[in-house]
Amino acid sequence: MDKKIMIAAVAVVAIVIVAAVAVVFMNNDGGNEETERVTNNLIVYGNANNDNKLDSKDVDFLKKIVNGDMTWDKATYPYADANVDGKITQADIDLVNKFIKGESAIMYYKDWNLGISSVHFPITGKISVSREVAFDIAMIGGWYDQIAGCQKTPDEIAKLDETAYPGSHKFISLRAESVAYEFDPVIASGVTLIAGDPYSFDDAVINQFANYNKTAAAGKTVDCLLLPHSREINGISWIQTIFALGVMTLNQDNTSDYVDYVDKIQSKLEDAVKNSANVKEKSYICLYAGSSVYKVSDTEFAADIYKAGAENYGDVTNLNMLPLTSAIKNPIDTYIPVTIDDILTAQPDVIFIEHTVTNATHQDAINNLKNAIKAFENTKAYKNNQIYYVAYDLVGSTAGVSSLLYLASQIWEGEFDAQDGIDNMKDYYNTFTKVDTSNFENTYFMPVGMKDL
């Protein structure tokens, strides 16, 4: 079920492209126009101007509202109401100033149910996370040293690679998938924040912690962070998690490179969509071949489907940032079996065949695509040279955002610069991972398209 979570030692993050809104307003000193890009990436209350950072600009923004120089556009700037009391007052300014100074306070954020949850700010104590992808994210963000537990069995913890994840053999087992939550060890371990995906803690577990926090015996508090690490839920993905945890753990400076990187990719995609009539929406299907090279069986494939408002896997979360829509809809599941007839009926413009084969070369990937496309000879995608063979490690994980400009250059030929796309992938791995990119184009990370055959 959680096939998508077995991400290898690749690190880091993706995105939800939210239509960026450029808002122009006048500075207090008059004359200078300032453009703020509303991103919806940092969904903590206190991020008044809804950009990617929590800083003095938010205080300035709030002062304008409190002073009556500007009216509060609640829909565009929901996070301006730092204390979530429904109005903008001096109290919001005071609270944001506390956040900036790193002083203890309750910090609210939009959670994966699109409700409002809170944590005890700043998060400087021990943290328990889900699994590898969360370790990778923590390394990028700078809170890896706070990780004290994870949702794995003791056996699984013993098998973790200490080279990639130093100290991991000492992590406390807090719950393995499909195993009852071990509540007492969590409390005993001194963990103050549990973060992960819904499989790690469902509503029953969250209530368990909430009830514990209400007891006098608690003496301390355990917060549950309802932000995902390896998927998108209700439009919130690990990108929002990284941005939020960066602020919550006082590591905003550490996440700033990543924030800037994501921002750059998002801006380029948004600009291209806005400025070129040729970047038209296309339909796609993402076939999941897993570790079986390129197909699930001779007669049936499995597809990941993007469903708005649902829990989506990393691959379609990332691909959905491009002007792509799922050719096959399914109201129930995001992972469904499909036959070649289903594909011929849907006739997607683009077909992605996604694999988790890691001991492969670029030439292997080319050979695999050659074999794979035989099944699709009657499809529109085949006739238009729009079938791609891609690694889950690249497009399905936190690395996914890095692949988008290159994939766009292949799908909307002439509208994006392929070399710029490759440079951005390398830039990602060089900056945020330990992956050696000196031979990048000859590795399995490099996507293969029919034009490469």
Query: Residue 58 or residue 197: which is nearer to Ca ion going by CB?
Result: 58
Q: Shortest approach of Ca ion to residue 14 CB, angstroms?
A: 21
Which residues of the chain form contacts with Ca ion (CB under 5 A)? 47, 49, 51, 53, 58, 81, 83, 85, 92
From residue 172, alpha-carbon distances to 148, 159, 312 in Å are 6, 13, 28
Cβ proximity to Ca ion: between 42 and 381 the closer is 42
- In the complex with Ca ion, the residue whose CB is nearer, 52 or 356, is 52
188-214: b (≥16 Cβ within 10 Å) or e: ebebbbbbbbbbbbeeebeebbeebee
| Least distance between Ca ion and beta carbon 137 (Å) | 21
CA triple 45-309-332, angle to 5 deg: 155
Is 437 in contact with 430 (CB distance < 8 Å)? Answer: yes
Looking at the Cβ atoms of 53 and 362, the one nearer to Ca ion is 53
Least separation in angstroms between residue 141's CB and Ca ion is 18
55 vs 156 by CB, closer to Ca ion? 55
Nearer to Ca ion, 61 or 181 (CB): 61
Q: Output 49 or 326, the one with its CB closest to Ca ion.
A: 49
Q: What minimum distance in Å lies between the beta carbon of 321 and Ca ion?
A: 22
Query: Do 199 and 180 meet the contact criterion of CB atoms below 8 Å apart?
Result: no
Smallest gap from Cβ 102 to Ca ion, in A, equals 16
CB 21 within 8 A of CB 38: yes
Q: Which residues pair with 34 in a beta bridge?
A: 25
H/E stretch holding 432 reads helix 418-432
**Measured from the CB of residue 87, what is the shortest distance to Ca ion in angstroms?**
5
Residue 397: strand, helix, or coil:
coil
Return the C-alpha torsion angle 309, 200, 153, 150, nearest 10.
Answer: 100
Q: Which is nearer to Ca ion, 36 or 156 (CB)?
A: 36
Neighbours of 59 (CB within 10 A): 20
CB of 95 to Ca ion, least distance (A): 8
- Report d(CA 37, CA 175) in Å as an integer: 40
Distance CA 310, CA 8 (A): 25
Task: Report in angstroms how near the CB of residue 92 gets to Ca ion at its nearest.
Answer: 4
